[in-house]
Amino acid sequence: MYPELLDVGTVGQEKRVPFLEYYLRERGSVDHIDNMKTMASPRLMKSHLPVQLFPTQAFTKKSKIIYVGRNPKDNAVSYYYFYKSLAGIGYYKGSWGTFLQMYLNDHVVWGGWSHHCLGWWKHNQEANFLYLKYEDVKKDERGTVKKIASFLGREVTEKTVDRIVKYCSFDNMKTNPAVNRENEPDLDCSVSPFIRKGVIGDWKNHFTVAQNEQIEQYYKERLGNTDLQFEW
């Protein structure tokens, strides 16, 4: 029905799933919002916006929303490498330690981790909202595909689940030019590939004992009295 969505090997991800707040018309790119206006329903779009900046129409019109959160330790490490490779953030040249302090003080693009995760978590009980944790997705990819299909009201065969799991596997996406953004002019993949590791626990290769204690205190203060909890 939508061949451009199925052709995952040749059609770029940004075309299949436009990035809501990504606007580069001044550099010759197409405004993603303009793209969305021409797409047939059902449309797919993505965003990194915190909930307070997200278009309210998505809630009033009961759009289907899927949020994916990740534990703060691995998220901080992943974000550090993204900062280093992205032109829009100035190809960050600072140290890991300095970046971690920025992260813990909410001085990063798209806002602080805890505010972001908790802001969206407030919608967790709404019928049109699905909150996923990256760690759970990694542990059960097939189960996650089925959960998303059920949330979207779609029936999927086991064969279709197999296809989706295959195409969405880390190894496949890392080598897929339609996803890995290796030719993206604003990303320096020689510094850090866009699809980097995708594992749980890479934080252990970066945090000192003191840094780990610091982020665990941050986690306790921000999420300690909430029912939202992550594993690492």
Cα distance between residue 147 and residue 149, in whole Å: 5
SS3 155: coil
The CATH code of the domain that includes 195 is: 3.40.50.300
DSSP state of 150: H
SS3 53: helix
Output the CA–CA distances (angstroms, integers) from residue 146 to 42, 63, 101, 128, in the order listed: 19, 19, 38, 16
* Catalytic one of 32, 48, 107, 115: 48
Query: Are residues 70 and 35 part of one domain?
Result: no
pLDDT digit of tens for each residue in the chain (232 aa)?
Answer: 334 444 555 667 777 788 888 765 444 455 667 777 788 888 888 999 999 999 999 999 999 999 999 999 999 999 999 898 887 777 899 999 999 999 999 999 889 999 999 999 999 999 999 999 999 999 999 999 999 999 999 999 999 999 999 988 988 888 888 787 777 777 777 878 788 899 999 999 999 999 999 999 999 999 999 999 999 9
Question: For 111-177, where are the E strands, in sequence order?
Answer: 129-133
Is residue 57, in this structure, part of any structural domain at all? no
Cα distance between residue 168 and residue 148, in whole Å: 13
Is residue 102, in this structure, part of any structural domain at all? yes
Note down the domain range covering 149: 65-232
> Measuring CA to CA, which residue among 113, 100, 116 is closest to residue 213?
100
Known catalytic residue at 115: no
